[in-house]
Amino acid sequence: MTTFVELTRFKVAPDQGEALLAARPAMLADFRADREGFLDARLVRLPGEEWLDIVEWRSEDDFAASRAKGANLPGIAAFFAAIAEVVGDEQGTLADPE
């Protein structure tokens, strides 16, 4: 099975880092409850108030359906609200064998 990966790099204002981290558990719970094909996500703190969200999906179609829903639930909306700017957004597939 090929796993589809979403890589989103974004900036958070210095005073919003704690809000982002506080919103993360509810955002993940909302994804698990509402996003078909959501497998896992990891959040990486980068230098300069930047973050990288690595999200794994069962398929590209599942990712597209999730993106179409946007911030439709409170946990997702709170997490997205802490983001000041999206720096980059890429997609690919996992190359490492299971």
Which pLDDT score, from 0 to 100, does residue 39 have?
97
Q: Using an 8 Å Cβ cutoff, are 8 and 41 in contact? A: no
pLDDT digit string, tens, across residues 60-73:
999 999 999 999 99
Bridge partners of residue 51, in order along the sequence: 10, 45
> In which band, very low, low, confident or very high, does the pLDDT at 97 lie, cut at 50, 70 and 90?
low
Q: Is 6's pLDDT higher than 90?
A: yes
Q: Average per-residue pLDDT in the chain?
A: 95
- pTM summary value: 0.92
Instruction: Please tell me the distance from the alpha carbon of residue 78 to that of residue 30, in angstroms, as a whole number.
Output: 11
> In which band, very low, low, confident or very high, does the pLDDT at 2 lie, cut at 50, 70 and 90?
confident
